[in-house]
């Protein structure tokens, strides 16, 4: 019974995930070089394991932090969870709708107006027309871009673009939100607002996956955390515990 | 909705992302014409103007060739070849071109290749209006059979999707294809009787036409648009079989290698 309940509550299940990148010393992406290297037997690949067998579970409503240095495999695990990459080995199960809040600019068309981009980006996140039409006013209002909504995006400032992206990604109230260190969006006023929005998402039962190399934000936002180092899981537990261990390790090295 | 990310969930995905497909196709078409004064009319004007130029050149230079109604003959062939080369070229670039998005958000990758082909197909369908106008202007026969051209055109679409998937996949791994492909398309244009009559090709080279699925489609359309007759069913059958083969090869190749795309673009 209890086992069944935990299974119910698990929204992300990562099982022994390994990710191998074949890092060729030089990128061979054309036929001529490929043939020459094949003949000269120079097609070496240096196997690089970005993840060396990582397992963890995220339960519904968890604010789950992933800490670690650059190159620890944080982004790789996010990309695997969001389905962008497939792991070399291991298994991933995800229950519920997922919205990645990473690299805000991706998916916008510079020649399109703000209005058109809301639909384009919304479609990219897997939402249908009816849903986006319902949410349209809310998105525009939150982004404070009413005056500019029919202006092509190439005339937007980078702050305006980020505001639009943030509004689209969070207005849809996903069940799982993936955040890659992007809480500083727009000017101070909008930052305040986006923090409040994040907080309200945090209060609700949305599951949040938060990646950072700074422990400060992880301590504030998360209740659970893992620490990755060079593709291996070093520690797992409550956010405070993991952050303490991680900070201690940083001080010692 | 629950789903296993690593599992195969084609139908669920297609339903979820068909609005994206629609958005991408309409974006391609809108952006293409947005900053031009005549807008979408270029879809009509461009083939019309090219046809006039080519008609003037070829009908005066090769008067003895004896193709009746050269404008319709030319336009039928040229619209089909232009669609095929434009669409496959766009599909070829589709995966590399959307690398930024494919690396950040999960989207079924074929949506990008498919949308590149479909937006070219919409332009192709619009340009058929020009063909009908030229047919009317040159007293070409309008018959009931025109409805049946939808079959070879459907074969053309699926053949193009199949080939598009193949070149999209290959181009991820071998970038040279982008340079080579333009030359291949020029070769195809000249190897297919588009602006010369099929009969001028020597007997020993006829096999180039016989085994050319695009020429089968062109032949089907020409019998209807030019002569008002129903096409040879074997031509249609050949076009349909070629389309099926291209689709099977294209989809197999694409699905086999799509997980490696992210690591290569």
The SS3 of residue A82 is: coil
Contacts of A9 in chain B (CB under 8 A): none
Q: What angle do CA B179, B164, B74 make, to 5 degrees?
A: 80
Q: Is the dihedral of CA B89, B91, B97, B99 positive or negative?
A: negative
| Angle separating helix axes B70-97 and B177-191, nearest 10 degrees | 170
pLDDT in tens, A61-71: 888 999 888 87
Mean pLDDT, rounded, for B129-148:
91
Place of tokens 């036929």: A31
Q: Does B214 touch chain A (CB under 8 A)?
A: no
For residues A218 and A202, what is the distance between their CA atoms, to the nearest angstrom? 13
pLDDT in tens, B141-180: 899 999 999 999 999 999 999 999 999 999 998 888 988 9
pLDDT tens profile A129-183: 898 999 899 999 988 888 999 999 989 888 888 888 888 877 767 788 887 765 5
Q: Which helix (H) or strand (E) holds A179?
A: strand A176-180
Asked if A150 and A113 count as a contact pair (C-beta separation under 8 A), the reply is yes
Backbone phi, psi, residue B109, to 5°? -70, -30
**Beta-carbon separation of B175 and A125 below 8 A:** no
* B56-83 per-position pLDDT tens digit: 887 777 665 667 788 899 899 999 999 9
Instruction: Please answer whether residues A46 and A22 qualify as being in contact, where contact means their C-beta atoms are separated by less than 8 angstroms.
Output: yes
Q: What is the mean pLDDT of residues B28-55?
A: 81
CA distance A189 to A173: 22
Give me the pLDDT at residue A5, please: 54
For the beta sheet containing A45-59, the strands, ordered from the edge strand earlier in sequence to the opposite edge, are: A45-59, A10-24, A89-95, B2-3
Which residues in B lie closer than 8 A to residue A22 (C-beta atoms)? 263
H or E element, residue A134:
helix A129-143
Mean confidence (pLDDT) of chain B: 88
DSSP tag of B35: T
- The model's confidence at residue A6, banded by pLDDT at 50, 70 and 90, is low
Q: How far is CA B4 from CA A39, A60, A206, in A?
A: 41, 17, 20
Assess: ipTM above 0.90: no
| pLDDT at residue A106 in the model | 73
8 A C-beta contact, residue A182 and residue A150: no
- Tell which of B17, B20, B34 to mutate to test the A interface (max A CBs under 10 Å): B20
Side-chain-facing half-sphere of A57: CA atoms under 13 Å: 8
Phi/psi at B251 (nearest 5 deg)? -65, -40
User: CA angle, corner A91, sides to A16 and A232, nearest 5?
Assistant: 25
Return the pLDDT at B31.
84
Question: Considering only CA atoms, which of B58, B61, B84, B79 is closest in space to residue B69?
Answer: B58
Tell me what pLDDT residue B2 has.
40
CB contact under 8 A, A29 and B19: no
Q: Phi and psi for A207 in degrees, rounded to 5?
A: -90, 135
Quick one: pLDDT at residue B107?
Answer: 87
Segment among A60-64, A233-237, B9-13, B122-126 with least mean pLDDT: B9-13
Rounded to an integer, the average pLDDT of B14-41 is 84
The string of pLDDT tens digits covering residues A22-54 is: 766 566 677 777 777 777 766 666 678 888 889
Look at A107-116, A204-213, B63-72 and tell me which has the smallest mean pLDDT.
Answer: B63-72
Q: What percent of chain A has pLDDT over 70?
A: 85
pTM listed for this prediction: 0.85
Share of chain B above pLDDT 70, in %: 94
Q: Which chain B residue's Cα is nearest to A31?
A: B174
* Mean pLDDT, chain A, whole residue set: 81
């Amino acid at each position: 019974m209890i086992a069944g309940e935990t299974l119910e509550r698990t929204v992300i299940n990562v099982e022994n995930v390994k990710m191998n990148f074949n890092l060729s010393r030089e990128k061979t992406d054309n036929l001529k070089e490929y043939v020459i290297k094949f003949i000269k037997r120079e097609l070496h690949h240096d196997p690089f394991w970005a993840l060396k067998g990582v397992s963890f579970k995220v339960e519904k409503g968890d604010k789950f932090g992933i800490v670690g240095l650059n190159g620890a495999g944080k982004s790789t695990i996010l990309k695997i969870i969001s389905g962008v990459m497939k792991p070399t080995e291991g298994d991933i199960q995800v229950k519920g709708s997922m919205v990645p809040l990473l690299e805000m600019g991706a998916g916008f068309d510079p020649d399109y107006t703000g209005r058109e981009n809301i639909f384009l980006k919304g479609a990219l996140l897997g939402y249908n027309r009816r849903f986006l039409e319902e949410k349209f006013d809310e998105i525009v209002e939150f982004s404070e871009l009413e005056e500019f909504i029919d202006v092509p995006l190439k005339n937007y400032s980078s702050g305006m673009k980020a505001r639009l992206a943030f509004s689209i990604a969070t207005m849809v109230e996903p069940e799982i939100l993936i955040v890659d260190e992007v809480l500083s969006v727009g000017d101070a006023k909008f930052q305040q607002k986006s923090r409040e929005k994040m907080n309200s998402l945090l209060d609700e039962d949305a599951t949040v996956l938060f990646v950072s190399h700074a422990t400060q934000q992880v301590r504030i936002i998360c209740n659970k955390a893992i620490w990755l180092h060079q593709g291996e899981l070093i520690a797992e537990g409550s956010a405070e515990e993991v952050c303490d261990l991680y900070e201690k390790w940083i001080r010692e090295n | 909705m629950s789903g296993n990310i690593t599992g195969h969930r084609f139908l669920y995905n297609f339903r979820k992302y068909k609005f994206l497909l629609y958005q991408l196709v309409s974006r391609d078409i809108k952006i293409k014409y947005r900053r031009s004064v005549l807008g979408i009319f270029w879809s009509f004007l461009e083939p019309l103007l090219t046809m006039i130029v080519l008609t003037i050149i070829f009908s005066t230079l090769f008067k003895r060739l004896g193709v009746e109604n050269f404008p319709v003959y030319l336009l039928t062939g040229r619209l089909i070849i232009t669609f095929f080369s434009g669409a496959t070229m766009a599909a070829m670039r589709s995966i590399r071109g959307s690398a930024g998005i494919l690396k950040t958000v999960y989207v079924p990758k074929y949506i990008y290749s498919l949308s590149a082909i479909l937006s070219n197909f919409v332009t192709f369908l619009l340009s058929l209006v020009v063909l009908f106008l030229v047919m009317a202007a040159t007293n070409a026969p309008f018959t009931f059979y025109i409805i049946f051209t939808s079959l070879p055109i459907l074969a053309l679409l699926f053949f193009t999707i199949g080939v598009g998937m193949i070149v999209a996949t290959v181009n991820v791994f071998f970038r040279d294809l982008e340079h080579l492909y333009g030359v291949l398309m020029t070769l195809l244009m000249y190897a297919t009787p588009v602006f010369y009559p099929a009969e001028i090709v020597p007997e020993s080279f006829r096999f180039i036409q016989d085994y050319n699925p695009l020429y089968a489609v062109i032949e089907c359309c020409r019998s209807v648009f030019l002569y008002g007759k129903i096409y040879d069913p074997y031509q249609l059958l050949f076009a349909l079989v070629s389309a099926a083969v291209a689709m099977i090869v294209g989809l197999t190749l694409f699905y086999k290698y799509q997980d490696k795309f992210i690591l290569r673009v």
